[in-house]
Amino acid sequence: MKKREFVVQDILSKIYQEHYPNGKLPTQRDLAEQYEVSRYTIQEAVNSLSDIGVIQVIQGSGMFIRKDAKQNPLIYNSLTRNSYDRITSKIIYLDKQPALEEDRQIFELDDEQYVWNFQRIRIVNYTITQIETSKLPVSLFPDFTASIAEASIQKYVQQSKYAISHYITSYTPILTTKEQTELLLCKKGTPAMKIVNRGILKNGQVYEYSEVIAIDYTCTYIVPFNKESHQTRQKE
């Protein structure tokens, strides 16, 4: 594990362990001494904690734990831990196609309806990290364009007056194919994560289905212990 990642996860752990009862983190200098790392590593860790909404850095005052931090599941990954100004996208293709049977099931579409089918690469800190292949129903987004696909889909959905409710996401480890490595600029067979995601609106409708291939992928989340589920899963 990289030193920065260890610092991030250890500070998260200490927040839940109530190591900072006054809600304020030690100074960056003190943290660097505590973890025996450089100030640069601490700065990167602090940026990550700030980007995922756990702490707030107030110039001249210090680093403070946000009041709602422990109410947040703190799910973050290699992409969401970065602020939007460090993430860009480049469209590979965008097509308007008749909905397949699978599309009709996912989006609950009638016959002869269409979906937008597009692929883009995600670039984080000037490095290509993901290939995303997505579908959106044309009936919800008739004015969808390539320039929108290269920006924030979530922002576009909200600007279209839809309220996003939640996401259903699954993760599967894979090895990259020849076609994928050509886009990701890596070697064939590089370990990667396949992430299948459904975005759901507050009215219950799926607005996006996506499959993401991500290299150099990490994901951290905090889950409350469910005693009932634990007991149910135990063998008698």
The confidence score (pLDDT) of residue 230 equals 65
User: What is the pLDDT, as a whole number, of residue 235?
Assistant: 60
Annotated domain spans of the chain: 3-70, 84-220
Q: Of 86, 87, 77, give the one whose Cα is nearest residue 214.
A: 77
CB atoms within 10 A of CB 161: 6
Please state which CATH class domain 84-220 belongs to. Answer: alpha beta
Question: 73 and 221 in contact (C-beta within 8 Å)?
Answer: yes
Give the pLDDT confidence score for residue 236 in this predicted structure: 52
CB atoms within 10 A of CB 27: 12
pLDDT at 125: 86
Neighbouring residues of 180: CB distance < 8 A, sequence distance ≥ 6:
131, 192, 213
State the alpha helices, DSSP H only, in the chain. Answer: 3-16, 28-35, 39-51, 101-107, 146-149, 153-159, 178-184, 227-233
- The token pair that represents 222 in the structure block: 């905090």
| Entry pTM | 0.78
pLDDT, block means (10 residues), the chain with 236 residues: 86 87 93 94 91 88 87 73 83 97 93 96 92 97 96 94 93 95 94 94 94 89 73 66
Q: For position 84, what pLDDT does the model report?
A: 77
CATH architecture of structural domain 3-70: Orthogonal Bundle (1.10)
Pairing of strands 55-58, 206-214: unpaired
- What pLDDT was estimated at residue 62? 93
